[in-house]
Amino acid sequence: MSYNSIIDNKAIKKTKQAEWQSIIGLEIHIELNTQSKMFCSCSAAYFGHKPNTHVCPVCLGLPGALPVANKKAIEWVVLCGLALDCQIPLFSKFDRKNYFYPDLPKGYQISQYDLPFAVKGRVKMDDGKIIRITRVHLEEDTAKLIHATVKGKGVTLVDFNRSGVPLMEVVTEPDIKNPQEAKELLKKLRQIVRYLGISDCDMEKGSMRLEANISLQKSGISKLPDYKVEIKNLNSFRFVEKALEYEIKRQLGLIKKGQKPLQETRGWDEVEQVTYSQRGKEEAQDYRYFPEPDLPPIHWQRKEIERIKKSLIELPDEKGVRFQKQYKLSLYQINSLIESREKADYFEEAVKVSHQHQIDPKEIANVIVNKRINVEKILPAELIKILVKKRTKPTIKGKELEKIANKVIRENKEAVEDYKKGKITAVEFLVGQIARATKGQVDPNQTRKVLLEKLR
C-alpha cells in the first residue's frame, strides 16, 4: 500500500490532499568492473574466489604502501556522470574519510568529499519528472566481514579481496516522492550503468548496494524537514520499496503522537519486515575529511572530457525515441526491447537480416517481446529463418493483389520514376511496401511479377 493511499483511507474527505508527504533520497554504491583495483594492481574480479588471494600491501593497508589511481575507473565515473547529464568539474581530488572499523585496515577510506568527479545531473522518469542527481564520486570498497562459527565459537573473519575495488557512489537529491518512484529510479540507473558496461550491478553479488534516506514533511511546505532517517542493508529493489513503506508508517505514527522521528541509521529486517535502529547518524564532520596526500589532484583538460563524451553510446531513452521513429513500435515493445543493450542490438540485427524477406520490424519486435526469445540462445538470423518458415501461406493474390499493387504504385511515384530511369532495385522497395501493407500476406515472387508487368 502506498503512503498516499494510507492517508487517503484515513482522510475524512477523499478529495483532500494527503496531509504529509514523504521526501526520499537515494545513495547507490556500484562496484566498477575494471580489471584491477582502484589503487593497486590486484585483480578486481574477486567474486567467488578464495578469501585473501587478491591482496597486496596497498589494499591490505600496510604501513608505507602508496596508492596509484586507476585511470579507467576515473574515466568511467566521468562517463557515468555524463550519461546522467552531470557537470564535470575540471578540478577534482580524493579525500580521506576517517572512521574505525575492522573492514577498513588503513583506518580511512579514500573517497571524495567536496570536489567529486561529477555534479548536478538528472534522470528523467517515465512520466517526465526529473530527479536531480547531486553527485557521482569515486571511492574504494572495504573488506568484507564474514560472521562464522569456528570450533563452536562465533568469530568474524575478514576477506580483503574486496578491499580497494573501485566503488562509484551516486547520490540523488531528495526529489523522490514515494517508494515506487524510488524503485523506478533505481531501475533506470541500473539500466544506464549496464548500458555503459561499467558494472553488472548485480545486487546478489553485492556489486550494487542501496541506501535510502527518508523523512516526512507537511504537504505544501517546500522546506526540507530538519531530520532524516537513513536505511541501510537494502539488497533488492523490492526491499527498498518495502522498507520505505514501513518507514512512512512508522514516522507517521510518531508524528501523530506528537513526536519527532530521530535522526538515525536504521537497518531493514526482511524476516520481521521492519526497520530497526542501528546507530545515530554521523555528520560529515565526524569523518574528519581531508585531502588525500598520497594522490595528486586531477586537472582535466576540456578535450579529455570531450573525448570521454564522444565514447558515450546511445542510452536507453534516446534508443527508445529512435525505435519509435524508425520502426513505429508500441511503447510496450520499445520498453521491453531497450531493457538491455543486448536485447535492443539483437532486435536491430534481426531487422537487418530480415530485409530480404520483407518482414515488418513490428512483427519481429512482437516475437522477441511476447515469445520471450532468449537472445543468448537463438541467433537473430535463426529467428528470422523460423519466422519465414512459419509465415502463413500467402492469402492475398490475383485481383486483390493487383488492386494493392496499383495503390502502392500510385502512392510511391518516386520509386516508380527511379525504376523507369533504370534503378532496378526500386522494385524491391515496392515489393516491400506491398508486403507491409498486407502484413506479409503476399508471396514476394508473385508480387514482384505483378509489379513488373504493371511497370512495363
And the C-alpha cell for 195?
548500458
Q: Which is nearer to Mn ion, 116 or 320 (CB)?
A: 116
> Cα-flanking dihedrals φ and ψ of residue 240, to 5°?
-60, -50
Query: What DSSP character marks residue 262?
Result: P
And the C-alpha cell for 156?
568474524
Residue 171 to residue 30: CA distance in whole angstroms: 11
Residue 305 to residue 90: CA distance in whole angstroms: 9
Footprint on residues 164-183 left by Mn ion (CB under 5 A) = 169
Question: Taking a C-beta distance cutoff of 8 angstroms, is the pair 167, 30 a contact?
Answer: yes
Footprint on residues 129-188 left by Zn ion (CB under 5 A) = none
Q: For the CB of residue 356, give the shortest distance to Mn ion in the complex, in Å.
A: 53
Q: Which is nearer to Mn ion, 137 or 319 (CB)?
A: 137
In this structure, how many other beta carbons lie within 10 angstroms of the beta carbon of residue 1?
10
Residue 84 to residue 78: CA distance in whole angstroms: 10
Count residues contacting Mn ion (CB under 5 A)?
1
Query: What DSSP character marks residue 203?
Result: T
Binding segment for Zn ion (CB under 5 A), chosen from 33-41, 219-227, 317-325, 333-341, is 33-41
Q: For the CB of residue 161, give the shortest distance to Zn ion in the complex, in Å.
A: 9
Among 26, 42, 83, 384, binds Zn ion (CB under 5 A): 42
Count residues contacting Zn ion (CB under 5 A)?
5
C-alpha torsion sign, points 102, 108, 111, 114 = positive
Residue 42: contacted member of Zn ion, Mn ion, none (CB under 5 to 8 Å, by partner type): Zn ion
> Cα-flanking dihedrals φ and ψ of residue 356, to 5°?
-70, -15
Residue 40: contacted member of Zn ion, Mn ion, none (CB under 5 to 8 Å, by partner type): Zn ion
Residue 95: contacted member of Mn ion, Zn ion, none (CB under 5 to 8 Å, by partner type): none
Query: In the Cβ-directed half-sphere of 316, how many Cα atoms lie within 13 Å?
Result: 27
How far, in whole angstroms, is CA 211 from its chain's centroid? 16
And the C-alpha cell for 183?
524503485
Binding segment for Zn ion (CB under 5 A), chosen from 57-65, 226-234, 279-287, 379-387, is 57-65
Residue 169: contacted member of Mn ion, Zn ion, none (CB under 5 to 8 Å, by partner type): Mn ion
Asked if residue 69 binds Zn ion (CB under 5 A), the reply is no
Q: For the CB of residue 78, give the shortest distance to Mn ion in the complex, in Å.
A: 18
Q: Which of 262, 260, 243 has the alpha carbon at shortest distance from 252?
A: 260
Q: For the CB of residue 96, give the shortest distance to Zn ion in the complex, in Å.
A: 18
Binding segment for Mn ion (CB under 5 A), chosen from 70-78, 161-169, 215-223, 283-291, is 161-169
Query: In the Cβ-directed half-sphere of 91, how many Cα atoms lie within 13 Å?
Result: 1
Radius of gyration over alpha carbons of the chain, in Å?
29
Asked if residue 115 binds Zn ion (CB under 5 A), the reply is no
Binding segment for Zn ion (CB under 5 A), chosen from 23-31, 49-57, 101-109, 416-424, is 49-57
And the C-alpha cell for 421?
530511369
Among 38, 40, 404, 427, binds Zn ion (CB under 5 A): 40
Asked if residue 141 binds Mn ion (CB under 5 A), the reply is no
3-state secondary structure (DSSP) of residue 149: strand
Asked if residue 56 binds Zn ion (CB under 5 A), the reply is yes
Q: Which is nearer to Zn ion, 140 or 175 (CB)?
A: 140
Asked if residue 74 binds Zn ion (CB under 5 A), the reply is no
Q: Which residues bind Mn ion (CB under 5 A)?
A: 169
What residues make contact with Zn ion under the rule CB under 5 A? 40, 42, 56, 58-59
